[in-house]
A and B are shown apart, each in its own frame.
Chain A
Amino acid sequence: MAAIELRGLTKVYPGGVKALDSLDLAIPDGEFFALLGPSGCGKTTLLRTIAGLETATGGAVVIGDRDVTGVQPGARDIAMVFQDYALFPHMDVTDNIAYPLRIKKVGKADRQRKALEVGTRLGLDQLMDRRPGQLSGGQQQRVALARVMATQAKAFLFDEPLSNLDARLRLEARTFLKKLQRELGVTTVFVTHDQAEALAMADRMAVMEAGHIRQIGTPAEVFQRPANTFVAAFIGSTPMNLLDGTVRGDTLEVAGCKVPVPVSAEGLLVDGERIVYGVRPEYNTYSAEPAEGSLGGKVAIVENLGASHLVTLEVGDVLVQAVVPEGDEPELGVDGFATPRRDRALVYRDGELVSA
């Protein structure tokens, strides 16, 4: 087991694409760390640079106490699961799981026993003689996990290991993976572009944009207090309402309505300055009657989320969304009011969170 530390890591691809821009990151021993970001932000590049499959243009990669920046991937004591799993098609499940041991010159009988042991733990014992082509996506994923488990590596790197699974299986695999990581206690870096996956699984997570890390924190911190408007818009199954506003004394003027200054920004705002007011739809209370500090408008869209509804109000010329419990959803076109929770609303100045 080992901690991972990145210092000023930079990766410029031939051709001039700067995929990682002087990135600093410290992942403590045993942590389940998620890397989240939109497509093309450099997540895979970061993971591959940690693994040593890409050479860093600048900066350092430290695993445990060892600077491995110039070290070959095989000598870094890490194991990686690729997005397509990269199971060897010409080997059966046993040989696939045992492959890392074969490289370490473990005897045939020993490594087959070990493969069966790990395979059994992941429920693969009936499938040990099959080729990858004869397995379902979920089974292939478990073989890939078994193969990295057999390595006894100090850290696991996963590149979107769940994205090839269908939605249902993905939920199961998510729980399974999290439980497994808990039991093994191996430092794990997990790349995903699915924010729900990151929130659900990670101990801590980083949100990336264009080669930069925009926020690092626990899922709760990142969800409740996005450090900037990029993260705010990216995180959450329903995107946060981000509304332009102006400070007017101890209230904010947002979309033509007056709302109180949120708790987090109290005493930090200057009268008359322009800000962005942010509140998640989940933290808006919907009512049919106006309330103190509410945003009022016409109900434009009602979307069914299952146990709740997402109501979109037209407030002036901006849209404000609120989540309404099932049974309370309004008719289209009626007047509605959304009251932000003062302890959950946020204020952004120049795109950055205003907070003490």
Chain B
Amino acid sequence: MTRFVLGRIGFYTLIAVLLAFFTIPLLWLAAAPFTSDPTYEVRVPDFTLDNFTAILEHPYALPSLLNSLVLAVGTALLVVLFAALAAYALSRVRLPGRDALLYALLLLSSIITGTAAMVPLFQLAVELNLIDSQLGLILILSGGLLPAAIFMLKDFMDSTPKSYEESARVFGASPLQIVRHVVVPLVRPGLATIAVWAVANVWGNFLMPYLLLSDVEKQPAAVIMYTLYTEGGQANLTLLSTFGLLYSVPVVLMYLFVSKKYGFRFHGGIKR
């Protein structure tokens, strides 16, 4: 009996420590922006808005959030469009070695945006005049996300019955009409998942924009965040905490909005 009680106490202590480990940074993120002269400790805020004034005065902070938005939305649109078409084709056309192709793509994708390909990617971008261009970055990010997106969407499309499409086909619908009228509405939750996933991915991506965008005015928030230092080379906690909050709010809002609209869950599989 004592052993059981002790075990329980130990268990809950462990849980509490773990919880604190993850909660304290979040608490800090919520409190520090509203505190004058924030430090690394979590304090009860004095609800000043001075930090926000400071960040508004920073020349690149707000524009960088807009840059992040452009990159994220642009990439998400490209990924959803191409992944939907490719996944549909792969799901419906019988090709020898189709599954092998998919797995190979999936493997390769982790290389494309991974560290290993950085130098060649950089050179490629220089050659194509896509260095310092948001379009170039969007293309490269899309390329990196597409294989996994195709893989996930194909799974989704495989699970929708073919007879809907066949029925539309007999009525004379063209392949593109079938995709627009029938397939897309049926897999809309899947498309939403992919879009959210792509946005979140781009939003948090530091390496690629850091590498390919040297113009400060084009850099996204993830990169600008890295430049928020005081003259003394110390992390500027006033700006960092405030900017961090502004940086995380859009993503949280997007999750809430999409999950309310489509009611799908992010944990586990993507199937309905």
- Residue numbers of A with Cβ under 8 A of B are 14, 51-53, 72-75, 78-80, 82, 84, 86, 88-90, 99-100, 102-104, 151
Given B94, B168, B170, which contacts A78 in the complex, CB threshold below 8 Å? B170
Residues 24-44 of B at the A interface (beta carbon under 8 Å):
none
Beyond A53-B166, A84-B161, A84-B163, whether A90 also contacts B185 by CB under 8 A is yes
Contact, CB under 8 Å: B172 / A74 = yes
Beyond A90-B185, A90-B186, whether A79 also contacts B171 by CB under 8 A is yes
Instruction: Report A-chain residues with C-beta under 8 Å of the C-beta of B186.
Output: 89-90
Contact, CB under 8 Å: B171 / A151 = yes
Contact, CB under 8 Å: A103 / B166 = no
Instruction: Report B-chain residues with C-beta under 8 Å of the C-beta of A82.
Output: 163, 166-167
Q: What does DSSP make chain B's interface, helix, strand, loop or mixed? A: helix
Nearest CB on A from B165, distance (A): 9
B265 at the A interface (CB under 8 A): no
Given B94, B164, B169, which contacts A74 in the complex, CB threshold below 8 Å? B169
Closest partner residue, chain A, to B182 (CB atom): A88
CA distance A78 to B170 in the complex (A): 7
Instruction: Report A-chain residues with C-beta under 8 Å of the C-beta of B66.
Output: none
With a 10 A CB-CB cut-off, give which of A53, A75, A89, A103 has the most chain B CB atoms.
A103
Given A53, A84, A90, A100, which contacts B171 in the complex, CB threshold below 8 Å? A100
What mask results when residues 155 to 199 of chain B are scored 1 for a CB within 8 Å of chain A, else 0? Answer: 000000101101111111110010001100110000000000000
CA distance A243 to B61 in the complex (A): 94
Taking A52-B170, A90-B185, A104-B172 as given, write out 13 further A-B residue pairs in contact, using a Cβ cutoff of 8 Å, ordered by the A residue number: A72-B169, A73-B169, A73-B170, A73-B172, A74-B169, A74-B171, A75-B172, A82-B166, A84-B161, A88-B168, A88-B181, A88-B185, A99-B181
Closest partner residue, chain B, to A52 (CB atom): B170
Instruction: Report B-chain residues with C-beta under 8 Å of the C-beta of A86.
Output: 161, 163-164, 166-167
With a 10 A CB-CB cut-off, give which of A73, A78, A84, A104 has the most chain B CB atoms.
A73
Nearest CB on B from A4, distance (A): 15
CA distance A156 to B191 in the complex (A): 35
Closest partner residue, chain B, to A80 (CB atom): B170
CA distance A74 to B178 in the complex (A): 12
Closest partner residue, chain A, to B188 (CB atom): A90
The 5 closest A-B pairs by CB, nearest first: A74-B172, A86-B167, A86-B163, A90-B185, A100-B171
Could you pull out 27 A-B pairs where Cβ atoms are within 8 angstroms? A51-B170, A52-B170, A53-B166, A53-B169, A53-B170, A73-B172, A74-B169, A74-B170, A75-B172, A78-B170, A80-B170, A82-B163, A84-B161, A84-B163, A86-B161, A86-B163, A86-B166, A86-B167, A88-B182, A88-B185, A99-B171, A99-B181, A100-B172, A103-B168, A103-B171, A103-B177, A151-B171
What mask results when residues 224 to 255 of chain B are scored 1 for a CB within 8 Å of chain A, else 0? Answer: 00000000000000000000000000000000
Instruction: Report A-chain residues with C-beta under 8 Å of the C-beta of B94.
Output: 14
Nearest CB on B from A43, distance (A): 16
Instruction: Report B-chain residues with C-beta under 8 Å of the C-beta of A103.
Output: 168, 171-173, 177
Nearest CB on B from A146, distance (A): 13
Residues 115-167 of B at the A interface (beta carbon under 8 Å):
161, 163-164, 166-167
Nearest CB on B from A107, distance (A): 17
Beyond A89-B186, A90-B186, A99-B168, whether A74 also contacts B173 by CB under 8 A is yes
CA distance A89 to B164 in the complex (A): 9
With a 10 A CB-CB cut-off, give which of B168, B171, B172, B186 has the most chain A CB atoms.
B171
Closest partner residue, chain A, to B184 (CB atom): A90
CA distance A74 to B186 in the complex (A): 21
CA distance A229 to B94 in the complex (A): 40
Instruction: Report A-chain residues with C-beta under 8 Å of the C-beta of B164.
Output: 86, 88
Instruction: Report B-chain residues with C-beta under 8 Å of the C-beta of A73.
Output: 166, 169-170, 172
Instruction: Report B-chain residues with C-beta under 8 Å of the C-beta of A78.
Output: 170
CA distance A53 to B170 in the complex (A): 8
Closest partner residue, chain B, to A84 (CB atom): B163
Instruction: Report B-chain residues with C-beta under 8 Å of the C-beta of A53.
Output: 166, 169-170
Instruction: Report A-chain residues with C-beta under 8 Å of the C-beta of B171.
Output: 74, 79, 99-100, 103, 151
Instruction: Report A-chain residues with C-beta under 8 Å of the C-beta of B166.
Output: 53, 73, 80, 82, 86
Beyond A88-B182, A89-B186, whether A80 also contacts B173 by CB under 8 A is no
CA distance A102 to B161 in the complex (A): 22
Instruction: Report A-chain residues with C-beta under 8 Å of the C-beta of B182.
Output: 88
CA distance A103 to B164 in the complex (A): 15
Nearest CB on A from B43, distance (A): 52
Instruction: Report A-chain residues with C-beta under 8 Å of the C-beta of B168.
Output: 88, 99, 103
CA distance A255 to B150 in the complex (A): 68
Nearest CB on A from B189, distance (A): 11
CA distance A14 to B173 in the complex (A): 26
Instruction: Report B-chain residues with C-beta under 8 Å of the C-beta of A84.
Output: 161, 163
CA distance A73 to B171 in the complex (A): 8
With a 10 A CB-CB cut-off, give which of B166, B170, B174, B181 has the most chain A CB atoms.
B170
